[in-house]
Amino acid sequence: MITLAIGLSIVLLLVILFLLFRIGTLASIFRGSTQRAAGTTKTSNKVNSILMLLFLIVGGAAFAWSFADAWDDMNQPIASVHGAWTDSLFWTTMIVIGIVFVITQILLFWYSYKYQHKDEKRAYYYPHNNKLEIVWTMIPAVVMALLVFAGWKTWTNITSAAPADSVVIEVMGKQFSWLVRYPGPDGKLGEANVHLIDATNEIGVDFSDPNSMDDFMPREIHVPKGKPVHLKIRSRDVIHSVFLPHFRVKMDAVPGMPTKFWFVPTKTTAEVRTETGNPDFNFELACTEICGRGHFAMRFILVVDEPEEYEEWLASQTPFIEQNPQLLTKFTQDSKDQVVLEKSTEEVKTEL
Amino acid sequence: MSSTDISLNKDVHHAHDEHDHHHDQNFFEKYIFSQDHKVIAKQFLFAGIFWGFIGGFLSIIFRLQLGWPEATFTFLEPIMGNWIVNGKIDPEFYLALVTMHGTIMVFFVLTAGLSGTFSNFLIPLQIGARDMASGFMNMLSFWVFFLASVIMFWSLFIETGPAGGGWTVYPPLSALPQAISGSGLGMTLWLISMALFIVSQLLGGVNYITTVINLRTRGMSMTKLPLTIWSFFLTAILGLLSFPVLLSAALLLIFDRSFGTSFFLSDIYIAGEALSNTGGSAILFQHLFWFLGHPEVYIVILPTFGIVSEVIATNARKPIFGYRAMIGSMLGIAVLSFVVWAHHMFVTGMNPFLGSVFMFLTLIIAVPSAVKVFNWIATLWRGNIRFTTAMMFAVAFVSLFISGGLTGIILGNSALDIQLHDTYFVIAHFHLVMGAAAFFGMFCGIYHWFPKMFGRMMDEKLGAVHFWLTFLSAYLVFMPMHYIGIAGFPRRYYSWTGFDAFNTFTDLNSFISIAAILGFSAQLIFLFNFVYSIFKGRRATANPWHSNTLEWTTPVNPGHGNWPGEIPAVYRWPYDYSKPGAPEDYIPQNVPFSQTQSSNLPYERDLE
């Protein structure tokens, strides 16, 4: 019954709108405005050009207000060294383009309003001015050159080789969660292979490799404040992307192609909690490359500790293989076979 | 002036009429399998409008989810069937929605619907040709596109759903049906449809290029071409060079999916087993895809550059400012568009040095783009502006192009792209600069050339209402997305509430969704105006906008062959508006200088 009522009222509304439209059309025929060239009728031209001006003023004000209103929410806390560089470069660029934005939009709508059609007036025949063209080619070219230079310097710094004393962490994306591995006291990650993956050994670590014996896989990432962190990023199924919004870090996780990103955290989780006044604040790791059904739910926690706390945390971790000793049984047999296999392939290579 | 020409040629015209009657076409030849460029253009237009509504409707559904993530949408169950479970949209269906929205809008509406309509309609009419170089190929182009459309449309209704890996269909996600259900039959249909689509684009493109080069009327040198034709010409060249690369990527993906090759697959463990594929590169696909994908952006926007330039000059009653600079900047953009593709891939793990090179090349594009904007604004300066609906869309186009284009300077900077890549900042950027702007260019073209297409005028008042609602909602939808993007909200998220970092802006997201619904509803006004005006609109005159280009010298309803008599010759550039000394404020291209002695400039006296 209600659907019927809604349907009927929609039909009624459409009929009324259609009648209004017909009346408008007929009225314009009686007024004779249809006799004039399109776009030269006095009222519609005036109304539209005033609306253009209003759009500029009201729209501009609304934009400014909403921007200011959203300011706090759009600025995520920054917690890395390079994050401060990119944020300052971002806002500098925003100011540059903001100036261009304001000038061009004002001119566009102001001219639209000011030079609206008048019967007695005639447009100014002004086909070109090469000097002007050169000027407004050169100005953006110079500005772009400066921005490219600033961007290039920042980019080169960010993507430079990670320092040797970095904390190395392997992050592996999978549908739909993250797997994390630390190299343990020896500082070396053991070999891993996609064919060794099973329900327990989700990264496919090769436990016949001595380097993997002390590797551990925690349920959240811990990193020390002020020390470089080197993320070694991999994926085991489809492309994912490691995104740490507060550290301004993003790098794709590509199956078959390890990637990396390094950064220096500057604030501990506790510090940001006091800074934002939010006792539940956590640094989060999100996925930013479409990866399937659970793409929006690949959340992982990252904790920045003071260096001492970090050492304590490290000491409290037990190697993965100690937690899952049953895995070794599989490897003692497999690894012997593999060693033999690898040797034979090496021989083949040397022969070739 | 145009009418004098026609009456001069009256006797030739009779012979022609008889000739035409001889080949009386039946209904099928005339309206379905027509080889007439005007009919084909309308076919593309109708198809484009159809797809536009489908694509827009899909976006409304996913905007409902994003605006009200906690709500249940039981009322959608009758339309969506099993994709809505207990009123909740299935997350994979959500991904299919965004994928199909992107595919449909970029390829089926803004490539086929835009270039297909206006290149077909305007090239022969504006260069003074009877038809395209090959009418048959042109017809084939539409019908291959139609086939592609049918397959893509069909894929919306299959049980496993349409392709769902994003419109960029990156493998391995798009290669492995285990990864997402849309990568099953839906993806196969997507690939077949796109392969056909590319064939259609190539058939069309070859035709456009050949026609522009070979069939220009007497006197129509390249520097007397309207900017529309220049833009369609460059668009066709871009398409011809880049679409085959997408075809190759699609073919390799088909091999990987169906024949066990490993072009893009390596070291994958999925659904409980390790795959045997090894040695492939997932990034290779992205290089191939964006080698088309980036020129594609310009394939979408270049035609609208031409349309808008033409409409602004006509309605400001002024010559387009810097005609040669406009051509030069389009050439510059066209060339540069081929060497910037990797700016979509700054954070894929590509060599950082490559990132620097692509940042440099990308930011150069800002220069010709800026020149175009300055020239449009300079054209408005001291004009005598007629606010036809087309003109308002053209002015709004420039506004949207500025707003969206400027943020490209930020995203093209690899250092800044780290944080913003794949966030709503990108969504806001490209929807303004190539989504909304291109749509506005398309509306601008439809309103402007409707009288030539259908012999009737669209209603200007309804047009104004449509325009203002659309313009307002375009900004209301996409401006706030910048804020969400700066906060780092990732795109293609079914819901953000799972993250502490992204659980703000819920009100703003609802606001955006409401604005989107408003914008979509406003298109119904357009649809009504369009359909009603075809049958009942006010009858148009031969040259309702007092425009200079050749299409307005044809009769109100140009028949097969466009001009009943001889094709008019061209003597001047298309932008002689408000020339001092001329009696009218426009002088069509086919008026010789000998007839306009009062307004000729010193160097034109020699041409009298």
pLDDT in tens, B464-498: 999 999 999 999 999 999 999 999 999 999 999 99
- Under an 8 A CB cutoff, do A252 and B468 touch? no
What burial class does residue B310 get, using C-beta atoms within 10 Å of its C-beta: 0-12 exposed, 13-18 middle, 19+ buried?
A: buried
Task: Give the SS3 label for residue A209.
Answer: coil
Largest Cα span, chain B: 84
Residues from chain A that touch B546, judged by Cβ atoms under 8 A, are: 37
Residue B540 is given by DSSP the state P
Q: How high is the pLDDT of residue A34?
A: 67
Pick from B491, B489, B508, B507: nearest CA to B499: B489
Whether residue A203 contacts residue A192, with contact meaning beta carbons closer than 8 Å, is answered with yes
Q: Which of residues 156-195 of A touch B (CB under 8 A)?
A: 156, 158-159, 174-175, 194-195
Q: Which of residues 262-321 of A touch B (CB under 8 A)?
A: 280-282, 284, 286-297, 299
Which amino acid appears at position B160 of this protein?
Answer: T
- The CATH code belonging to domain B2-20+36-220+381-607 is 1.20.210.10
Helices (H), chain A: 2-31, 42-74, 81-114, 130-158, 269-276, 307-316, 320-323, 326-351
pLDDT digits (tens, 9 = 90+) for B420-453: 999 999 999 999 999 999 999 999 999 999 999 9
Percent of chain A with pLDDT strictly greater than 90? 76
Helices (H), B68-134: 77-80, 91-103, 114-127
Strand stretches in B509-588, DSSP E: none
Q: pLDDT class for B28, splitting at 50, 70, 90?
A: confident
- Under an 8 A CB cutoff, do B381 and A115 touch? yes
Four-point Cα dihedral A9, A12, A18, A19, nearest 10 = -140
Nearest CB neighbour to B371, from listed A73, A133, A255: A133
pLDDT at B275 over 70: yes
Quote the tokens at residue B438: 């291109």
- Under an 8 A CB cutoff, do B487 and A140 touch? no
pLDDT digits (tens, 9 = 90+) for A120-171: 889 999 999 999 999 999 999 999 999 999 999 999 999 999 999 999 999 9
Q: What is the Cα–Cα distance from B298 to A324, expressed in whole angstroms?
A: 56
Q: What average pLDDT does the segment B507-515 reach?
A: 96
Q: What angle do CA B302, B361, A247 make, to 5 degrees?
A: 110
pLDDT at A238 over 90: yes
Q: What is the Cα–Cα distance from B534 to A55, expressed in whole angstroms?
A: 31
Q: Which residues, 6+ apart, have CB-to-CB distance to B534 below 8 Å?
A: B454, B456
**Closest residue in chain B to residue A250, using alpha carbons only:** B418
Q: Which residues, 6+ apart, have CB-to-CB distance to B499 below 8 Å?
A: A284, A286, A299
Q: The CATH number of the domain where A186 resides is what?
A: 2.60.40.420
Domain assignment of residue A292, given as a range: 167-339
Q: Is A68 on the interface with B (CB under 8 A)?
A: no
Question: What sign for the dihedral angle of Cα B325, B331, B335, B338?
Answer: positive
pLDDT at B21 over 50: no
Q: How high is the pLDDT of residue B6?
A: 40
Instruction: For residue B373, give the H/E element and its range.
Output: helix B366-380
Q: How high is the pLDDT of residue A280?
A: 93
Q: What is the Cα–Cα distance from B264 to B257, expressed in whole angstroms?
A: 10
Instruction: Give a yes or no: residue A271 inside a domain.
Output: yes
Interface test with B, best of A134, A252, A273 (most B CBs within 10 A): A252
Q: How high is the pLDDT of residue B20?
A: 47
Residue A9 is given by DSSP the state H
Quote the tokens at residue B279: 């040695």
Whether residue B577 contacts residue B313, with contact meaning beta carbons closer than 8 Å, is answered with yes
Q: What average pLDDT does the segment A26-48 reach?
A: 79
- Summary mean pLDDT of chain B: 92
Helices (H), B23-134: 27, 37-67, 77-80, 91-103, 114-127
Q: Is A86 on the interface with B (CB under 8 A)?
A: yes
Nearest CB neighbour to A141, from listed B316, B367, B416: B367
Residues from chain A that touch B324, judged by Cβ atoms under 8 A, are: 128
Q: How high is the pLDDT of residue A333?
A: 57
- Under an 8 A CB cutoff, do A123 and B577 touch? yes
Quote the tokens at residue B221: 């040198």
- Under an 8 A CB cutoff, do A255 and B406 touch? no
Sheet holding A229-235, edge to edge: A177-181, A167-174, A229-235, A259-263
Q: pLDDT class for A39, splitting at 50, 70, 90?
A: confident
Whether residue B321 contacts residue B378, with contact meaning beta carbons closer than 8 Å, is answered with yes
Residues from chain A that touch B265, judged by Cβ atoms under 8 A, are: 255-256
Whether residue B420 contacts residue B286, with contact meaning beta carbons closer than 8 Å, is answered with no
Residues from chain B that touch A51, judged by Cβ atoms under 8 A, are: 468
Which amino acid appears at position B529 of this protein?
Answer: N
Four-point Cα dihedral B29, B35, B39, B42, nearest 10 = 120
Question: What sign for the dihedral angle of Cα B225, B228, B231, B236?
Answer: negative
How do beta strands A259-263 and A229-235 pair?
Answer: antiparallel
Q: Is A240 on the interface with B (CB under 8 A)?
A: no
Percent of chain B with pLDDT strictly greater than 70? 96
- Under an 8 A CB cutoff, do A52 and B395 touch? yes
Task: Give the SS3 label for residue A100.
Answer: helix
Residues from chain A that touch B426, judged by Cβ atoms under 8 A, are: none
Look up tokens 């609906």; give the residue: B389
Look up tokens 């349309």; give the residue: B307
Where is pLDDT greater, at A160 or A32? A160
Nearest CB neighbour to B180, from listed A107, A129, A293: A293
pLDDT digits (tens, 9 = 90+) for A314-342: 999 999 999 999 888 887 655 555 555 55
How do beta strands A249-253 and A300-305 pair?
Answer: unpaired
Min Cα–Cα distance to chain A from B246, Å: 20
Interface test with B, best of A17, A44, A48, A75 (most B CBs within 10 A): A48
Strand stretches in B262-330, DSSP E: 269-270, 273-274
Q: DSSP per residue over B588-606, as a string?
A: -TTS-GGG-TTT--GGGGG
Q: What average pLDDT does the segment A65-81 reach?
A: 94
**Closest residue in chain A to residue B507, using alpha carbons only:** A70
Instruction: Give a yes or no: residue A23 inside a domain.
Output: no
| Integer Rg of chain B from CA | 25
Nearest CB neighbour to A111, from listed B172, B352, B377: B377
Q: What average pLDDT does the segment B219-227 reach?
A: 94
Four-point Cα dihedral B2, B4, B7, B13, nearest 10 = -40
pLDDT digits (tens, 9 = 90+) for B308-356: 999 999 999 999 999 999 999 999 999 999 999 999 999 999 999 999 9
Q: How high is the pLDDT of residue A349?
A: 45
- Under an 8 A CB cutoff, do B578 and A122 touch? yes
Residue B269 is given by DSSP the state E
Q: What is the Cα–Cα distance from A177 to A180, expressed in whole angstroms?
A: 10
Where is pLDDT greater, at A134 or A3? A134
- Under an 8 A CB cutoff, do B347 and A252 touch? yes
For the entire predicted model, the pTM comes to 0.93
Percent of chain B with pLDDT strictly greater than 90? 86
Q: What is the Cα–Cα distance from B499 to B391, expressed in whole angstroms?
A: 45
Return the domain boundaries, chain B. Answer: 2-20+36-220+381-607
pLDDT at B12 over 50: no
Q: What is the Cα–Cα distance from B426 to B482, expressed in whole angstroms?
A: 8
Distance of alpha carbon B28 from its chain centroid, rounded?
28
Q: Which residues, 6+ apart, have CB-to-CB distance to B362 below 8 Å?
A: B340, B343, B408, B412
Sheet holding A240-244, edge to edge: A221-224, A300-305, A283-287, A240-244, A249-253
Quote the tokens at residue B423: 């966030």
Whether residue B319 contacts residue B576, with contact meaning beta carbons closer than 8 Å, is answered with yes
pLDDT digits (tens, 9 = 90+) for B364-391: 999 999 999 999 999 999 999 999 999 9
Q: What is the Cα–Cα distance from A171 to A242, expressed in whole angstroms?
A: 8
pLDDT digits (tens, 9 = 90+) for B258-274: 999 999 999 999 999 99
pLDDT at B15 over 50: no
Distance of alpha carbon B158 from its chain centroid, rounded?
28
Q: Report the number of distinct structural domains present in chain A.
A: 1
In this complex, how many residue pairs, one in chain A and one in chain B, have their CB atoms less than 8 Å apart?
364
Q: What is the Cα–Cα distance from B518 to B508, expressed in whole angstroms?
A: 15
Q: How high is the pLDDT of residue B263?
A: 96
Q: How high is the pLDDT of residue B234?
A: 97
First to last CA, chain B: 17
pLDDT digits (tens, 9 = 90+) for B171-193: 999 999 999 999 999 999 999 99
Quote the tokens at residue A284: 């989060």
Whether residue B545 contacts residue B391, with contact meaning beta carbons closer than 8 Å, is answered with no
Q: Which of residues 11-50 of A touch B (CB under 8 A)?
A: 21, 24-25, 28, 34, 37-40, 44-45, 47-49
Helices (H), A118-253: 130-158
Q: Is A323 on the interface with B (CB under 8 A)?
A: no
Burial readout A10-42 (b: 16 or more C-beta within 10 A, e: otherwise): eeeeeeeeeeebeeebeebeeeebeeeebbbbe
How do beta strands A221-224 and A300-305 pair?
Answer: parallel
Where is pLDDT greater, at A125 or A26? A125
pLDDT digits (tens, 9 = 90+) for B65-79: 999 998 888 888 888
Instruction: Give a yes or no: residue A180 inside a domain.
Output: yes
First to last CA, chain A: 84
